[in-house]
Structure 1
Amino acid sequence: MTRLTIALLGAGSMGSAVGRALSASGARVLTTLEGRSAASAARAKDAGMQDASLAELAACDFILSIVPPAVAVQSAERLAPALTQADRKAVFVDCNAISPETAATIARTVDATGAPFVDAAIIGLPSTPKFYLSGPHAARAAVLGDAGLNVRVLDGPIGAASALKMSYAGVTKGLAAIGSAMSLAAMRNGAGDALFDELRESQPELAAWLSSNVPRMPPKAYRWVAEMEEIAAFIGDAYPEHRIYEGAAGLYGRLANDKTATDALIDFFGKRGQ
């Protein structure tokens, strides 16, 4: 098999873990560290990723965009001029937690460059991510399964993979938001101990899930704000339930800056869940 050259937009915890898996499989992995923090640069280097120009990224076999959802459109627009000028078009795989509408916006940007676009969704932890692919060019990206990634091609149009991600994250991160919001409310009103004891007695699986997941949430809360907003947009203003996720976005935005509340949640679910 010809050695793949893969560009990665984003060197966060997920991006660097994906980069490490690709490098370990023998792929050449490039990224851009312009404007990135020292921590991101260190993660990229540790994962075997090489710093490169936008022109070099555009000349790769594949481009995987794994960035915070709030900058997904901007990241594609930033690379678009280099993609337009590239003699050989990379397959652009958008792996971000975005709504189908946002995916369609990015697809239009990429289509204008002449490069093929693949809608993708990552589900799972950085150690065990699964990549769901959709759209007319999804099969072209299936070769990434030979480069260390767990790839699953959906029989659906652009937006199907993003819809899957929105729905899955809406359940899991939505549940974490509900558990956090009601636990904080119970603690503020003197019912915290009783709530946890009742959950553990009558809903042991839910208590165990929240105890495992909520204490890991605070460092990610700031990134989940835009994701909840994307889920609200995915549901649509015509449906009142979209406000659930507008509320979740507000909660995660508050928790990103409220150490007292996040410490209380970690104590509530972490220590008591042991």
Structure 2
Amino acid sequence: MTRLTIALVGAGSMGSAVGKLLSASGTRVLTTLEGRSAASAARAREAGMEDATLDELAASDFILSIVPPAVALDTAERLAPALTRAANKAVYIDCNAISPQTVATIAQTVDATGAAFVDGGIIGMPSSPKFYFSGPHAPLASALGDAGLAVRLLDGPVGAASALKMSYAGITKGLTALGSAMSLAAMRNGAGQALLDELAESQPEISAWLASNVPRMPPKAYRWVAEMEEIAAFIGDGFAEHRIYEGAAGLYARLATDKTATDALSRFFSETAR
């Protein structure tokens, strides 16, 4: 079997974990560390990823884009000239938490280079991610299953995998936002302990879920702002419920810098976990 070369753009917590999974399977993993922080560079090296030029990335077998939602389009545009120049073009897979509308724009950017485009969505923790792929070129991504990734192909167009990711994240991260907002409001108005007690008594599953997930949220809040905005766009301005996720984006933007509030949430839910 020919050894795959996979370019992975984005050496954050998820990207570096995916790089480690690929490297462990014997896959050669390339990345670009240009403009990345020292922490990202260290994570990439620890995951067995090699620093490479954009032209080297473009000539690999696959490019996996795993970056913050706000820079997903910028990433495709940065790689487009190299993809255009490449004689043997990588299959470009966008794995970011973005709306189908944003995916369509990225697909147009990649299509113009002559490279194949696959829509992707990641669900799960960095230690055990599942990759959903859709679009006419999605079957090409099945090769990633032999490279150590959990691959699931969707019978749908470009945008279907991202729609799944938006829907799933809208429920899970939306519930985290709802629990955080209501808990903070209860504490501000003297009903915090009563809320904890009532949730534990009448909604034990929700109580346990929030106790597990809300305290883990603060370090990720800044990254979830753009994701909530993408979910709002996914729903569409024509539906009133898109404002739920605009509100969630505002909440996460505040919690990203409001340590008093996030410390209060951690203390609040530590009571539930006891």
> For the superposition of Structure 1 and Structure 2, which TM-score range results when normalised by the shorter chain?
over 0.9
Q: Which amino acid aligns with 1:237?
A: D
1:92 aligns with 2:92: yes
Using the TM superposition, give the Cα deviation of residue 152 of structure 1 relative to its aligned residue in structure 2, in angstroms. Answer: 0.1
SS at match of 1:7: strand
Cα deviations across residues 4-39 of structure 1 (Å, max 9, x unaligned)? 000001000000000000000000000000000000
What's 1:216 paired with? 216
Runs of 4+ in 1 over 3 A off after TM superposition: none
Q: Which amino acid aligns with 1:261?
A: A
What's 2:45 paired with? 45
Q: Distance in 2 between matches of 1:238 and 1:164?
A: 20
For normalisation by structure 2, the TM-score amounts to 0.99
Q: Distance in 1 between matches of 2:121 and 2:80?
A: 21
Q: Which amino acid aligns with 2:27?
A: A
Using the TM superposition, give the Cα deviation of residue 168 of structure 1 relative to its aligned residue in structure 2, in angstroms. Answer: 0.2
Structure 2: segments with no counterpart, 5+ residues: none
Q: Which amino acid aligns with 2:111?
A: D
Q: Distance in 2 between matches of 1:261 and 1:273?
A: 19
What's 1:114 paired with? 114
1:180 aligns with 2:180: yes
Cα deviations across residues 62-96 of structure 1 (Å, max 9, x unaligned)? 00000000000000000000000000010000000
1:96-245 to structure 2, matched below 5 A, reads 96-245=96-245
What's 2:268 paired with? 268
Q: Distance in 2 between matches of 1:207 and 1:232?
A: 26
Does structure 1 conserve the Cα–Cα contact (< 8 Å) formed by 2:186 and 2:195? Answer: yes
What's 1:253 paired with? 253
User: What is the Cα-based RMSD across aligned positions, in Å?
Assistant: 0.5
Cα deviations across residues 219-260 of structure 1 (Å, max 9, x unaligned)? 000000000000000000000000000000000000000000
Using the TM superposition, give the Cα deviation of residue 272 of structure 1 relative to its aligned residue in structure 2, in angstroms. Answer: 3.1
1:70 aligns with 2:107: no
What's 1:61 paired with? 61
Using the TM superposition, give the Cα deviation of residue 271 of structure 1 relative to its aligned residue in structure 2, in angstroms. Answer: 4.0
Q: Which amino acid aligns with 2:100?
A: P
SS at match of 2:119: strand
Q: Distance in 2 between matches of 1:53 and 1:270?
A: 46
Does structure 2 conserve the Cα–Cα contact (< 8 Å) formed by 1:212 and 1:270? Answer: no
Does structure 1 conserve the Cα–Cα contact (< 8 Å) formed by 2:99 and 2:234? Answer: yes
Does structure 1 conserve the Cα–Cα contact (< 8 Å) formed by 2:200 and 2:272? Answer: no
Q: Percent identity?
A: 80
Using the TM superposition, give the Cα deviation of residue 54 of structure 1 relative to its aligned residue in structure 2, in angstroms. Answer: 0.3
SS at match of 2:194: helix
Does structure 2 conserve the Cα–Cα contact (< 8 Å) formed by 1:130 and 1:152? Answer: yes
Using the TM superposition, give the Cα deviation of residue 273 of structure 1 relative to its aligned residue in structure 2, in angstroms. Answer: 1.8
Q: Distance in 2 between matches of 1:98 and 1:74?
A: 13
SS at match of 1:272: helix
Does structure 1 conserve the Cα–Cα contact (< 8 Å) formed by 2:58 and 2:79? Answer: yes
Using the TM superposition, give the Cα deviation of residue 270 of structure 1 relative to its aligned residue in structure 2, in angstroms. Answer: 2.6
Q: Distance in 2 between matches of 1:126 and 1:271?
A: 27
Does structure 2 conserve the Cα–Cα contact (< 8 Å) formed by 1:121 and 1:132? Answer: yes
Q: Distance in 1 between matches of 2:184 and 2:21?
A: 38
Aligned residues between the structures: 274
SS at match of 2:273: coil
1:10-25 to structure 2, matched below 5 A, reads 10-25=10-25
Q: Which range moves more in the overlay, 263-272 or 160-169? A: 263-272
For normalisation by structure 1, the TM-score amounts to 0.99
Cα deviations across residues 174-203 of structure 1 (Å, max 9, x unaligned)? 000000000000000000000011000000
Q: Which amino acid aligns with 2:75?
A: S
Q: Distance in 1 between matches of 2:226 and 2:96?
A: 11
Structure 1: segments with no counterpart, 5+ residues: none
Using the TM superposition, give the Cα deviation of residue 150 of structure 1 relative to its aligned residue in structure 2, in angstroms. Answer: 0.2
